[in-house]
Amino acid sequence: MPHIASLCANSHRLYTMADHKWTGSVKSLKGVILDMCGVLYDSGEGGGVPISGSVEAVKRLKESDLQLRFCTNETQATREKFVAKLQRMGFELSVSEVFSPAPAAVSILKERGLKPHLLVHDDLVPEFDSVDKMNPNCVVIGDAADKFSYKNLNDAFQVLIGMEKPVLFSLGRGPSDERHPTVTADGYVDNLAAAVDIILRHRSQ
Amino acid sequence: MPHIASLCANSHRLYTMADHKWTGSVKSLKGVILDMCGVLYDSGEGGGVPISGSVEAVKRLKESDLQLRFCTNETQATREKFVAKLQRMGFELSVSEVFSPAPAAVSILKERGLKPHLLVHDDLVPEFDSVDKMNPNCVVIGDAADKFSYKNLNDAFQVLIGMEKPVLFSLGRGPSDERHPTVTADGYVDNLAAAVDIILRHRSQ
């Protein structure tokens, strides 16, 4: 029986669960981890809108005995900015309750003594303030959007092929779909990795 | 026995062949097709330098009874500009003797009544002057270099996913290697094609 529920469906289901008063089969639950985009809010112009019922659902979960945490694959803003946006939508949450890719990457970088060359969105850069970025020995790529220029991609490429064993961290994956009709970070990660791979194969020949 | 020799090795071999006076085994040859970059000249700063012996080799081939044509995968300049560069290096050649991807693409577009959205190098655009580009129903991608911006890639993506059956022409392939250490057009073609493919699979579900 799981003791933590991870909800990444949509807030209708979340709302129904919150309405349950946590009886019966969910009695043994100790905590809930909520996905955010598409669960709490829908992205869109001006940052998006809360999904009907979701603000109330989060409120009820907070009032319950359950531990509540939020999880997101957001890599275009710091948690501070992201949380402020959700607070403006009416959600009760704080930065320390939110788990996102950049702080996870920062932990790994520090653990392994790695210094990153960043190919990330400008608004994400402050998440890496505490990390030494001089003489980089790895590349961290996120959903850089406009920063995915030919020059920036090649700068990251040069850093990677300058290493004996290139190390590339991707902050996430998320393909294009009808609701996100852009060439996503995925493709750029694959593009960069493939180019580096070709160079490595050339070298080993 | 082949009647046309296609040379894409290097000009040392070419020079040696030219020196042969076309006796013996090459007697039945009617023509020669020469690759250009890496055969006639080496690319580099300022447009590159002729490979030793290659100007003389072309001169001898021209003086022979053999038909001579040039073939290139150059997609960053019109044939006019490209030929002018080689003429400045000392080569005897004219635009009509050069076969390159853009004019080949133009033939196909006209044959099939296709109107392209271009994601190509600025200097290549004049090759497509004779083609109707209003209301595009296909995308043509070349080695666009700096033009491979996030916006331009997404513009091409929007054109493609707006079609019932997306048509994408790539003017060529050529991976990164130690002498061409950039994320090449290859990766961008694959990136775009993969993103479109994902959308199509979503639609058909």
pLDDT tens, residue by residue, A18-53: 555 555 556 788 899 999 988 999 987 777 899 999
Phi, psi angles (nearest 5°) of residue A196: -65, -40
Tokens of B127: 């090759």
Q: Kindly tell me if the per-residue pLDDT of B50 is higher than 70.
A: yes
**Of B145, B161, B183, which has the smallest distance from its Cβ to A181's Cβ?**
B161
CA separation for the pair B91, B105 (Å, rounded): 26
What do you get for the CA distance between the two ends of chain B, in Å?
Answer: 53
pLDDT at A186: 82
Q: Kindly tell me if the per-residue pLDDT of B62 is higher than 60.
A: yes
pLDDT at A46: 78
Contacts of A189 in chain B (CB under 8 A): none
Q: Kindly tell me if the per-residue pLDDT of B191 is higher than 80.
A: yes
Kindly report the number of other CB atoms within 10 A of residue B7's CB atom.
18
- Kind and range of the H or E element at B141? strand B138-141
What do you get for the CA distance between the two ends of chain A, in Å?
Answer: 52
Q: Kindly tell me if the per-residue pLDDT of B28 is higher than 90.
A: no
Contacts of B195 in chain A (CB under 8 A): 175-176, 182-184, 187
Confidence band of A8 (pLDDT split at 50, 70, 90): very low
Over residues B16-29, mean pLDDT: 60
pLDDT at B23: 52
pLDDT at A24: 55
Each residue's pLDDT tens digit, A88-127: 999 999 999 999 999 999 999 999 999 999 999 999 999 9
Confidence band of A1 (pLDDT split at 50, 70, 90): very low
Each residue's pLDDT tens digit, B39-49: 999 987 777 89
Each residue's pLDDT tens digit, B82-131: 999 999 999 999 999 999 999 999 999 999 999 999 999 999 999 999 99
Contacts of A177 in chain B (CB under 8 A): 198-199, 202
Count of A–B CB contacts within 8 Å? 94
User: For residue A182, what is the nearest residue in chain B, using CA coordinates?
Assistant: B154
pLDDT at A178: 76
Q: Kindly tell me if the per-residue pLDDT of B9 is higher than 50.
A: no
B154–chain A Cβ distance below 8 A for any pair: yes
**Of A161, A191, A202, which has the smallest distance from its Cβ to B188's Cβ?**
A191
User: For residue A155, what is the nearest residue in chain B, using CA coordinates?
Assistant: B182
Confidence band of A2 (pLDDT split at 50, 70, 90): very low
Q: Kindly tell me if the per-residue pLDDT of A5 is higher than 70.
A: no
- Beta carbons of A156 and A192 less than 8 angstroms apart: yes
Each residue's pLDDT tens digit, B51-61: 999 999 999 99
A194–chain B Cβ distance below 8 A for any pair: yes
Contact across the interface for B157 and A198, Cβ inside 8 Å: no
Each residue's pLDDT tens digit, B129-171: 999 999 999 999 999 999 999 999 999 999 999 998 899 999 9
pLDDT at A53: 93
Confidence band of B1 (pLDDT split at 50, 70, 90): very low
Smallest Cα distance from A141 to chain B, Å: 15
Mean pLDDT value across chain B? 86
Mutation choice for A interface testing from B146, B191, B200, B204 by most A CBs within 10 A: B191
* DSSP for residue B51: P
CA separation for the pair A11, A171 (Å, rounded): 25
Contacts of A153 in chain B (CB under 8 A): 148, 183
* DSSP for residue B40: T
